[in-house]
Structure formats: structure tokens, C-alpha cells
Structure 1
Amino acid sequence: MNQKAQSGKADSAVKWVKVWDGPVRLFHWTLVLLMIGSYVSAKQGKLDVHFYLGYAILTLVLFRILWGLAGSQTARFSQFVKGPGAALSHLGHVLRREREDEVGHNAAGAYMVLALLALVLFQTITGLFSNDGMFEEAPLAHLVGGAWSDTFTLWHGYSFDIIVIAVALHVAAVLLYAVLLRQDLVRPMVTGWARLPAAFTAPRMAPVWLAVLFLLIAAAIVWAVVTYA
């Protein structure tokens, strides 16, 4: 489904449409909290807590990948990831203050979603091979030796800095939409509902049990890697 309506052409009638399911919204806000907790625990030297938060973050990212393959319609990568041309075209509309309503992520926002997922995945994986330079080693550090573990530790730190920059750009984009287009992107991610032209069809939502199954699969993968590697 690819439904959009430019501001000058859209039907004036609007309705509330559920665009985000509970699993996507829980993933989004839980990931925010876990990333903050991970940063704070590392700064305080509580590496045991930091490790467990990292496992939880990796579990969430793996879940989101599975949900992006077979979850609700707006969560699927095949639904919102389009070519670079579509992304550039959308950005052109934004700069001209021409609102384009979308059911889910827009073509430009899709690349930010992919970038953040890739960055967090890289950050958590490198963390599995890292060390604190003194006494503590992550569960997989012994597999690569001291020199490589030190390298992974550097990458782990640098990737977090890049994530901070990416998140800042993400927040700036949300604010830009609010100012230029009067479009609130935060409320739908909190409530799940958005005001859209009446011609839009509500997207299909996957069952909650499937989300629970995917979360258990993701958790089992992380547990097996950490325990038996």
C-alpha cells in the first residue's frame, strides 16, 4: 500500500487511523530508555548492569528485524523502504512546505530507521567483544584475543558517538516536521493513532502473539550466544 496525499490535493475530510501497533511503539520507547541506562551504567562503571542492558538492547533490535520482515504492515521494511529517488522527492516536498501524509514511515524517514537499527546492532555486537582495559571482559572477548578486543572496544565507543549524532538528527527532523508542516510525528508513536485523509485505509496489524513469539526467539538467540559462545 502506498497512500499519500499532498496538502493541496488531499480531501479535506480526515479521520483517525491506527498506524503503529503496540510492539513497534514499545520497541521505540523501551530502546530509548535502555540506551540511556546503558550510557549511565557505563559512566558509573557498573559494567555488570551495562552488559545486561546491552543484551536487552540486542534482543530488541533482533526482534525489530523479525517484526520488520513479518510484522504489521507499517512495520515491514518492504512497506516503507523505497528507492533514493522517492526519499529525495519527499525531502523536496518538505522544503517546499508541501505536506505528504503517509501511513507509517515516509520515504526519507525509512533511511533513518535503517541507519539507527544498523548502528545500534553494530554497537551491541562490538560490545560483546569489548573489555574495560582492566578486569572486565564481555562474553565474547576471549574469542578474538586482547588486541582485537581492544579494537572492538574502540569501535563500541565510536559507534555510540555516531548514534548520538543520528538521534540528534532524528529529533531535529521531528521538530522540522512540526514547524514547517504542522505535522506531529510524536503523538502517533505514543498513541498509535494519526489524523489522515478519510480516503486512507487502515493498515493491517499483526497479532500480538506473533510479536511475543519473535521477542522470545530474539531473546533465545542472545542468551545462546552469550551463554555458549
Structure 2
Amino acid sequence: MRGKVAIEVWDSWMRLFHWGLVLAVLISFYTTKTSGAPFLFPIEVHAQAGYLILGLLVFRWLWGVLGSVYARFKTFLYPPAKTMAYSKALIQRKPSAYASHNPLGGWMVVIMLLSLTFQAVSGVFLSDDIFFQAPLYGLFGEGASSQLRTLHQWNSDLLIILIGLHLVGLVVHRLLGEPLLAAMLGGTKRFHQQPTDAHNEPLTASMLRLRALGALLIAAGVVVWLWF
């Protein structure tokens, strides 16, 4: 049964960021976690995917401060007590409805963004000691680069766990009647009643476009600088 309240939750910039990140992360993992990748120089493709990921993350961190109301971190980051209360209600299959990320999901998003950011940033200091050197390799000495390489490898395993938990969360919420994937595709969520965190958008469409353009220019500048 369709809900009575329809809310435009994820703006087009958020949806483009999300699916662009999914594609770039898939390419990044494919070029390191499988054999026989269909690229002439897979390490270079891996690095270029990392540059794109870093640019996308720069945009997301900026959009989390400057963007539409449901994309802002302050909208979906809750104190520990509220997060624990939501977790308990979720276990009891009685969670409150949230337009943006729920308290548990909001912290999960931030943890994943932090892990992805570390992965992308650490990558620009690495080398494979044969064919490839990232733009900032050796900036802090070879010892630091070696330590970052180890952390980069460990964090890639952590990311697999985080992505797995994210997918499990999607399935759980779908079973609870909340199709999060459909919302990230179309941008709209439907509810039987007003969600707990319903907000009015304080910014005009023209102001959002202006802010998005600024964030995109900064993110694109990072990618171009690293790529070339």
C-alpha cells in the first residue's frame, strides 16, 4: 500500500554522487581484488578511480554542510542516547520513520565516508614500486608511504565489511516496508504519516544550484590536479 505522505528526500546532486561513488568504488575494488582485470595497466585505472572517489567525497563533505536539508549532516546525526533508543526500537521491529537517514544509519554513513576518505587520501601517497607512483608519493618519506600502504590495505578490508553492512541494512529496511533503494533512485520517500525528522527546505532552488556549482568546481579541481 502506498504511503499518504510523499517527501522529496534526496536531491539530484545526492543521487548523482551516490551512484557515481558506487561505480568508482566497484572499479577500484575490481582492479585490486580480482585477477585478470580487463585493463592494460590496472594499477593506473585503480588510481584514477581513486581520484574520482576523492573528488566525489570532497563534494559530499561540502554538500553535507551546504546542501539540501536532508543531505546535511546536522539533519541526520543524533546523540548516542537517541541512536541507542532507535537501535532498540529497530530490534523490536518498531522503528520510527525518518525522511533522511535514521540515527543508526546516519552514523553508519559518516563512518563509511570517513573510511572512504582515508582510503582515497592515503592512495595519493602510494607507489607499487614498479610502474606507478601517486602524485604525492614520497612527500613524507618512504617510511611514511610504507605505513600508509599497510593501512590502505587494511582499510580496504574494513570497507568491504562496511559495504556489506550497508547492503544488509538495505535488506532489513526493505523487509520493514521502507524501500531505501527506490528512494535513492527516484529521490522520493513515501510514508503513512509525517516522519520524525520532516523539515522544510530553507534554501531556494537557485541558491542550491549556486552552492552545488561551487562544490562541483572545487571537487573537479581536486580530480584534475591529481589526474594530470
TM-score range, shorter chain: 0.7 to 0.9
Are 1:185 and 2:186 matched, yes or no? no
User: What is the CA distance between 1:99 and its match in structure 2?
Assistant: 3.5
User: What is the CA distance between 1:52 and its match in structure 2?
Assistant: 1.5
Match of 2:169 in 1: 173
The alignment-based identity, stated in percent, is 32
Q: Kindly tell me the number of residue pairs found equivalent between the two proteins.
A: 215
Distance 1:21 1:161 in 2: 31
TM-score (norm 2): 0.86
Distance 1:22 1:153 in 2: 35
Distance 1:157 1:133 in 2: 15
* Residue type of the alignment partner of 2:120: T
User: What is the CA distance between 1:126 and its match in structure 2?
Assistant: 0.7
5 Å-filtered alignment, 1:184-203, equals 184-199=179-194, 203=200
* Residue type of the alignment partner of 2:214: L
5+ residue gaps in structure 2?
none
CA contact (8 A) 1:19 1:203 kept: no
- Superposed CA deviations along residues 32-86 of structure 1, whole A, max 9, x for unmatched, are 1100111223354522222221111000001000000010000001111111111
Are 1:160 and 2:156 matched, yes or no? yes
Matched residue SS, 1:100: coil
CA contact (8 A) 1:103 1:203 kept: no
- Superposed CA deviations along residues 185-227 of structure 1, whole A, max 9, x for unmatched, are 1111110011124546564265234212201112224444676
Matched residue SS, 1:89: helix
Distance 1:13 1:127 in 2: 44
Are 1:108 and 2:109 matched, yes or no? no
5 Å-filtered alignment, 1:38-57, equals 38-42=28-32, 43=34, 44=37, 45-57=41-53
Match of 2:15 in 1: 25
Distance 1:64 1:164 in 2: 20
User: What is the CA distance between 1:25 and its match in structure 2?
Assistant: 1.1
Distance 1:226 1:192 in 2: 31
CA contact (8 A) 2:137 2:145 kept: yes
Matched residue SS, 2:174: helix
Are 1:139 and 2:139 matched, yes or no? no
TM-score (norm 1): 0.86
Distance 1:172 1:113 in 2: 14
Match of 1:14 in 2: 4
Match of 1:69 in 2: 65
5+ residue gaps in structure 1?
1-11
Q: Which runs of 4+ in 1 moved over 3 A?
A: 42-45, 197-203, 221-227
- Superposed CA deviations along residues 126-154 of structure 1, whole A, max 9, x for unmatched, are 10111113232111112122222222112
